[in-house]
A and B are shown apart, each in its own frame.
Chain A
């Protein structure tokens, strides 16, 4: 059964190649849509078959690699020389990620058939989307770092291509040349910021190879399992990997690209910038859990960065008016929770949150897409309102998503988020301040989500009279309903023991993280009364957030305006996203361009080096001009010099 695993990767690749080469000739959108979604659907089916097969196997046989061919090898027989294969590894973690990628991916592909209807780049869209699925599957299924890096950069490329899909549309990114920017600026920004992270990943790979003599997961983690924590090289490796993760998963300091990535079509935001690609950093840290276990200092940093990102993004999300930007900051914030989980050694809980987040965030984005669709590309929530009666399916599914992310039981987000918060509180690697940040962030999350729901769907319509909102077609609503269903029940696979659940996710992933847990020597926790108290507390905070938002944005709308004026400077700071973009521009981008242009190019290159070259040429010409004057053509002068020369030589010979 495992030997079928390359098929999972193959179908989207074939879809990409076919659509990329022949798509422009296909007249029928239906056919393109069927090919595009079908390839992902087939992958999903194969993944399910393998998953079912794995369920029937004993725990120690659930991991297997399939090698296809040698990729990069230097062929000399020296033992230390590198040899990396294209090989796919199936285990409990990678199959889970594969199911998310292909399952949610399939739904979003189907949704896109409706959303992208009539777009002149219809075939191009599905080509890029299939390429994305292919790259993402390489990322999660790779059995070595280098192939993972291929997927890693590949998804970055697809993200670039899809953010800039409507490359001539205006889009204000802030920063460089404001007002003139198009979506392609956002795309470029995403790629370059990601590359900064990739630089970290690349260096980490080099260090891993030097230190472990291999890049394959089995070899590296196997050798890591016998090491003891505390060596500084492990701190370097894990921090450099984490730099990569902050790029891909939009954490401090590299989160600035994700809000701008909303320039892409909404299905792209749902698939790439919410459900799958941005969780790649979390997956990578989880995959390398053994390495992180060897560097507890790095785990501390991961936890702190995660918690801070969760809070900072949530505060920005409070005041944004673009429906997709609110969701984008919410994604950054939720990713922060996942990293908080990783940092406090709650690896399984972090991956569990990846799963539930994929459901409810994809749902929320697709819902926002239906809203944008209904209002003819309007994204400003201040110009929405009252859509509840026109878009009932969208409304109800959106509310389900909002409740799920807010953390109200028994919706899925509650279980995963609470698991992270509990581990943050109780784990040997967590702490109470981190837990406090997490709970505070949860309250903010509930507030901004229901601000969004209220402004979009409740109250009176604030859009123009010529707009007649209508519910989306069925290719769009059916995925919404399925995702809403999953957002409700998706958490059931991870109900903790304290609530009499089996915590299936944690047990399933156990074998993957056990080596790390052993290294970390975690103190086991039974069911404690504290856990219930904290659970009730965090639900209370979430409920308060929801209630507060409904009061402010439905019943007493004058309050919002009042507060905005009262705390004008704070509002301005948050509205302008703490001026991070502006700071990067002033401190990094502009100086680099100025120095390169004024000093390096026009200074060193043109003035100094070329100046020296041309100067010496001129000097030679000048000398030659002067020497030429000796050639007067007067025979007497020549004779004089001639005789003088002989005299000099004679004198020199005499006195030698």
Chain B
């Protein structure tokens, strides 16, 4: 019973916090913060149950719950998780409390509404990863946009309205196409002999790959466009620097840490298994866009003058690795992609917290306004260093595990037809060191500013609360770097299953060709 309900509880527990907040006066800031933080911590603890009870030996979805929702259309509240979803849900429930803790005093106005938005956002985020019904997935997907829109639009920086509108329009543009494709997919199921309209993902896994290539291609494009915008895949990324720079720190943390993963998650969960033949067709394009993204994102990152923008562009580069791993369609590639989603969530989430911490003190994020800051903030400097190294992919820390597996996977891949993908992607290893260490050096090292003033303020080192926030992330940065098996073992099933599906589909393609070939021959014989 519990195992059936636990996922629903995880998704909706933050609503309890929202309800509680309704009864708290808006002047009672302390209570609001504690309710917000407390709720997310409890949600995290609940989600740990998922982690410990998860059975890694099976590839089936677990903690499944199904309640009929719209009977006539066969739409149901259908949730369940596999290893990939498990890791991403834990990432979400882990980062949300830290996003609140790390920005404890950063929000001054409308704190109550802000906390509610973050809690509602968490519901949407966890829901997206748990949904096994396409319609339900779509509902969570859209539901999550609304709080994020407000978080950027209300609590953001100077250009927040432009950024919020850009964010929502980009995403809506993609997701409306996805809605059409979902409905078309359901309709396609009903046209089959004995079939009926359905949005059940597991059923569609059996049905959709049988579509003709032309239809698959359109469906793939509709889904993939929506996800590619979210990732973001070059050249659909320009909403991201604006949204990140304008969003408040907690918004950036969750945007980079979790929301971007929904794009790559969607590619793995929907695009590949539902439309395998179309996916094969787009491998070269996606591979090239991924590699271009890796290099382009890194180079543009390198020349940024605003640290937050630098981190934002670095996401384009890092997520390029993930996309490459997905389209390698090998176990290493997909395992690497999944663990890299988690890694990017941790390290980029932490980097945005770091940007927030230094902005709270100096009220500037311009790299050129700093220099020698390590002298005044040694503990902060140490954390900044470790997180940068994680992002650079230093062996022994988390980033390396993902990058290495992805490169190996794409090198091994029989789908990606050239070593060039991996070889060019690997230059990202050099470039990441360039942009992050260069920024680090210009800000933290070198000569200290005259009088120790940065943006007209003196810097004081991070306090206990901030140390706890960053230390929690560093713990996992090291854990995944040294002993990734804890996590890789969970996502192994997903990778194996996905690769199996793709290999089967490829063999299916070959089989179909094999079937067609004799008939043409027969025709030729007949003509003679």
Contacts from A to B (Cβ < 8 Å): 69-76, 78, 80-82, 146, 149-150, 153-154, 157, 160, 164, 167-168, 170, 182, 184-185, 187-188, 191-192, 195-196, 198-199, 202-203, 206-207, 209-210, 592-593, 595-597, 600-601, 604-605, 609-610, 613, 617
Which chain B residues lie closer than 8 Å to A198 at the CB level?
A: 429-430
Candidates B296, B304, B426, B485; contact of A202 at CB < 8 Å: B426
- Whether A191 and B395, one on each chain, are in contact in the complex, defined by CB atoms closer than 8 angstroms, is no
Which chain B residues lie closer than 8 Å to A595 at the CB level?
A: 299
- Whether B446 and A206, one on each chain, are in contact in the complex, defined by CB atoms closer than 8 angstroms, is no
- Whether A167 and B430, one on each chain, are in contact in the complex, defined by CB atoms closer than 8 angstroms, is no
B397 → A minimal CB distance (Å): 10
Q: Mark B388-424, 1 if CB is under 8 A from A, else 0.
A: 0100001110000100110110011000000000110
Candidates A82, A153, A609; contact of B332 at CB < 8 Å: A82
Cα A210 to Cα B423 in complex, Å, equals 14
- Whether A184 and B302, one on each chain, are in contact in the complex, defined by CB atoms closer than 8 angstroms, is no
Which chain A residues lie closer than 8 Å to B427 at the CB level?
A: 199
Which chain B residues lie closer than 8 Å to A157 at the CB level?
A: 389, 394
A-B contact pairs, 29 of them (CB 8 A): A70-B485, A71-B482, A72-B484, A72-B488, A73-B488, A74-B335, A78-B331, A82-B332, A82-B405, A153-B394, A154-B394, A168-B448, A184-B446, A185-B446, A187-B445, A188-B438, A191-B433, A199-B427, A199-B429, A207-B411, A209-B411, A209-B412, A210-B412, A596-B302, A600-B299, A600-B303, A601-B303, A605-B238, A609-B238
Q: Does B452 contact A (CB under 8 A)?
A: no
Which chain A residues lie closer than 8 Å to B405 at the CB level?
A: 72, 74, 82
Q: Does B501 contact A (CB under 8 A)?
A: no
Candidates B166, B437, B445; contact of A168 at CB < 8 Å: B445
Which chain B residues lie closer than 8 Å to A153 at the CB level?
A: 394-396
Q: Which residue of B lies closest to A73 (CB)?
A: B485
- Whether A596 and B235, one on each chain, are in contact in the complex, defined by CB atoms closer than 8 angstroms, is no
- Interfacial residues of chain B within 423-453, with CB under 8 A of chain A in the complex: 423, 426-427, 429-430, 433-434, 437-438, 441, 445-448
Which chain B residues lie closer than 8 Å to A613 at the CB level?
A: 166, 170, 238
Cα A188 to Cα B335 in complex, Å, equals 32
Instruction: Beyond A188-B438, A203-B423, list 14 extra A-B contacts (CB 8 Å).
Output: A82-B332, A167-B372, A167-B446, A168-B372, A168-B447, A185-B446, A192-B433, A195-B430, A198-B429, A199-B430, A596-B303, A601-B304, A609-B238, A613-B170
Cα A465 to Cα B303 in complex, Å, equals 49
B74 → A minimal CB distance (Å): 34
Which chain A residues lie closer than 8 Å to B372 at the CB level?
A: 167-168
Which chain A residues lie closer than 8 Å to B304 at the CB level?
A: 601
Q: Mark B286-320, 1 if CB is under 8 A from A, else 0.
A: 00000000001001101110000000000000000
Which chain B residues lie closer than 8 Å to A610 at the CB level?
A: 238
A13 → B minimal CB distance (Å): 11
Which chain B residues lie closer than 8 Å to A74 at the CB level?
A: 331-332, 335, 405, 488, 492, 495
- Interfacial residues of chain B within 331-372, with CB under 8 A of chain A in the complex: 331-332, 335, 372
Q: Does B58 contact A (CB under 8 A)?
A: no
B295 → A minimal CB distance (Å): 9
Which chain A residues lie closer than 8 Å to B299 at the CB level?
A: 592, 595-596, 600
Cα A196 to Cα B434 in complex, Å, equals 10
- Whether B395 and A149, one on each chain, are in contact in the complex, defined by CB atoms closer than 8 angstroms, is yes
Q: Which residue of A lies closest to B432 (CB)?
A: A195
A437 → B minimal CB distance (Å): 31
Q: Which residue of B lies closest to A151 (CB)?
A: B395
Which chain B residues lie closer than 8 Å to A185 at the CB level?
A: 441, 446
Cα A157 to Cα B303 in complex, Å, equals 23
- Whether B411 and A210, one on each chain, are in contact in the complex, defined by CB atoms closer than 8 angstroms, is yes
- Whether B496 and A593, one on each chain, are in contact in the complex, defined by CB atoms closer than 8 angstroms, is no
A280 → B minimal CB distance (Å): 14
Which chain B residues lie closer than 8 Å to A192 at the CB level?
A: 430, 433-434, 437
Q: Does B18 contact A (CB under 8 A)?
A: no
Cα A202 to Cα B403 in complex, Å, equals 11
Q: Does B374 contact A (CB under 8 A)?
A: yes
- Whether A605 and B300, one on each chain, are in contact in the complex, defined by CB atoms closer than 8 angstroms, is yes
- Whether A184 and B445, one on each chain, are in contact in the complex, defined by CB atoms closer than 8 angstroms, is yes
B84 → A minimal CB distance (Å): 14
- Whether A601 and B374, one on each chain, are in contact in the complex, defined by CB atoms closer than 8 angstroms, is no
Q: Does B68 contact A (CB under 8 A)?
A: no
Candidates B429, B488, B492; contact of A195 at CB < 8 Å: B429
Candidates B169, B302, B332, B483; contact of A81 at CB < 8 Å: B332
Q: Does B375 contact A (CB under 8 A)?
A: yes
Candidates B394, B426, B434, B496; contact of A76 at CB < 8 Å: B496
Candidates A170, A191, A604; contact of B437 at CB < 8 Å: A191
Q: Does B105 contact A (CB under 8 A)?
A: no
A43 → B minimal CB distance (Å): 19
- Whether A154 and B396, one on each chain, are in contact in the complex, defined by CB atoms closer than 8 angstroms, is yes
Which chain B residues lie closer than 8 Å to A593 at the CB level?
A: 302-303
Cα A199 to Cα B166 in complex, Å, equals 37
Cα A75 to Cα B331 in complex, Å, equals 9
- Whether B489 and A75, one on each chain, are in contact in the complex, defined by CB atoms closer than 8 angstroms, is yes
Cα A613 to Cα B408 in complex, Å, equals 36
Q: Mark B60-95, 1 if CB is under 8 A from A, else 0.
A: 000000000000000000000000000000000000
Cα A601 to Cα B300 in complex, Å, equals 5
A82, A207, A617: most-surrounded residue (chain B CB, <10 A)? A82
Q: Mark B238-255, 1 if CB is under 8 A from A, else 0.
A: 100000000000000000
- Whether B408 and A209, one on each chain, are in contact in the complex, defined by CB atoms closer than 8 angstroms, is yes
Candidates B300, B422, B448; contact of A596 at CB < 8 Å: B300
Given the interface pairs A74-B488, A182-B446, A206-B407, the reply to whether A168 lies near B331 with Cβ below 8 Å is no
Which chain A residues lie closer than 8 Å to B496 at the CB level?
A: 76
A85 → B minimal CB distance (Å): 11
Cα A613 to Cα B166 in complex, Å, equals 9
Which chain B residues lie closer than 8 Å to A597 at the CB level?
A: 303
B383 → A minimal CB distance (Å): 13
Cα A595 to Cα B235 in complex, Å, equals 18
